[in-house]
Amino acid sequence: MYMALKHLHMLCAVISIAGFALRGGLRLMDSPVLQRKWIKIVPHVIDTVLLATAIGLVIVLHQYPFVTGWVTAKLLGLIVYIGLGVATMRIARTQSARVATYLLALLTAAYIVAVAFSKSAFPFL
């Protein structure tokens, strides 16, 4: 069960981050493609599976947020990533603000991935 959850979680993470990178790029170009219904729905489906597998992994591994440092770091990173993603796609009104929040969101995603691989809240130290 663990391996299935882990691999599905990793696959969804890759698809989710790649999807955000693509949609963020389209947002920076003010592309009308972003108005297509499937582009608005698919990310929510992928992210729901990603979250469900994360919860499954937490339960299977008995490594809980606010108990295990690296899991807490991933959760806090996720909250920041979501906020920056919302800012990029909806809140930021100027192009410079969109670019800044987009790049910060991608850096935050890289941090989350690094934490996952290193199992450390400080993966770059």
Amino acid at 15: I
Evaluate whether 58 touches 64 at the Cβ level (below 8 Å): yes
- 95-118 vs 2-28: helix crossing angle, rounded to 10: 160
Query: Buried b vs exposed e over 47-61: b needs ≥16 C-beta within 10 Å?
Result: bebbeebbebbbeee
Helix runs in the chain, H state only: 2-28, 37-61, 69-86, 95-118
pTM listed for this prediction: 0.94
Q: Which two tokens stand for residue 112?
A: 């989350």
User: What is the maximum span of the chain, computed from C-alpha positions, in angstroms?
Assistant: 46
For 82-111, how does the pLDDT look when each residue is reduced to its tens digit (9 = 90+)? 999 999 999 999 999 999 999 999 999 999
Average pLDDT, rounded, for the chain = 97
